[in-house]
């Protein structure tokens, strides 16, 4: 009599296969390509020698303090934050992103891209201190260990943990807001005016009925605190979470 699937497989599934890993690596490469390209366009204005937060001045300040060292501001440009080196790093990031996109040693590319992008995150300070910058670094770090030739269970599980952390922390931040605007449902009444990079659709969304904005507020908190737990359940729950999260992101 054939044995049924183990409890582990019923809960966590069979893991991701090589084809999924290859698609993920290429999609992540596109994101990194856009990130480095975008940063390169703004580099001189942000952290260039005549920028808003010159990298050289920042590192000079860090090196001049006896209580701070390399690990307080880990960057590959510690010894040479010149404009030429900063631009060279951007070119290297674009090149490695392209190589990863083409499938050329992608796991090695991620191992090199993580410290390179981290270097710019450190130097750019406020400009790259958003949630998605950390998410890029964490996703690329896990991509280093995602095999492309055999099925993996552990690494995809770590990606689920990362996704859970992203949404759970967002929900906690809303729930713990001292304004209590997510509790009373008023948060979304102003969200479309204040959210980062609002699109032209935001104007129309902002003028929806106030009652709808209250529903949006309560749903967002409930969604981010409840749905992520389904990431660790059986496959039907994970598929449901996938549909809900995809719809949430599109909206």
Confidence check: pLDDT of 195 > 80: no
How many alpha carbons fall within 13 Å on the CB side of residue 42?
A: 13
Confidence check: pLDDT of 230 > 80: yes
Rounded Cα distance between 151 and 37, Å, is: 33
Rounded Cα distance between 220 and 137, Å, is: 25
Does this model's pTM top 0.85? My answer is no
CA separation (Å) from 223 to 148, 181, 249? 33, 16, 12
The pLDDT, as a whole number, for residue 65 is 84
Structure tokens at 89: 């790093």
Express the helix, strand and coil content of the chain in percent, nearest 5 each.
Answer: 70, 0, 30
Rounded Cα distance between 67 and 89, Å, is: 28
- pLDDT one-digit tens code per residue, 31-73: 999 999 999 999 999 988 888 989 888 888 888 888 888 888 8
How does the average pLDDT of the chain come out, rounded?
86
The pLDDT, as a whole number, for residue 2 is 45
Confidence check: pLDDT of 242 > 60: yes
**Contact at 8 Å (CB) between 136 and 31?**
yes
């Amino acid at each position: 009599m054939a044995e049924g699937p183990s409890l582990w497989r019923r809960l966590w599934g069979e893991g991701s296969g090589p084809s999924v890993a290859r698609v993920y690596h290429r999609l992540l490469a596109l994101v990194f390509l856009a990130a480095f390209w975008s940063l390169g366009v703004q580099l001189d204005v942000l952290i260039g020698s005549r920028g808003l937060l010159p990298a050289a001045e920042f590192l000079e300040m860090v090196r001049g303090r006896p209580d701070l060292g390399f690990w307080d501001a880990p960057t590959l440009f510690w010894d040479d934050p010149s404009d030429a080196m900063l631009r060279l790093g951007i070119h290297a990031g674009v090149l490695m992103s392209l190589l990863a996109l083409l499938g050329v040693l992608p796991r090695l590319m991620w191992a090199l891209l993580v410290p390179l992008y981290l270097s710019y995150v450190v130097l750019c300070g406020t400009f790259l201190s958003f949630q998605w910058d950390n998410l890029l670094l964490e996703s690329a770090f896990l991509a280093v260990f995602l095999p492309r030739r055999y099925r993996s269970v552990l690494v995809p599980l770590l990606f689920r943990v990362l996704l859970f952390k992203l949404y759970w922390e967002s929900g906690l931040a809303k729930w713990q807001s001292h304004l209590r605007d997510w509790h009373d449902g008023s948060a979304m009444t102003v969200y479309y005016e204040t959210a980062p990079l609002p699109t032209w659709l935001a104007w129309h969304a902002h003028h929806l009925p106030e009652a709808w904005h209250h529903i949006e507020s309560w749903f967002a908190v409930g969604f981010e605190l409840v749905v992520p737990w389904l990431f660790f359940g059986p496959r039907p729950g994970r598929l449901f979470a996938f549909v809900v999260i995809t719809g949430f992101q599109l909206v």
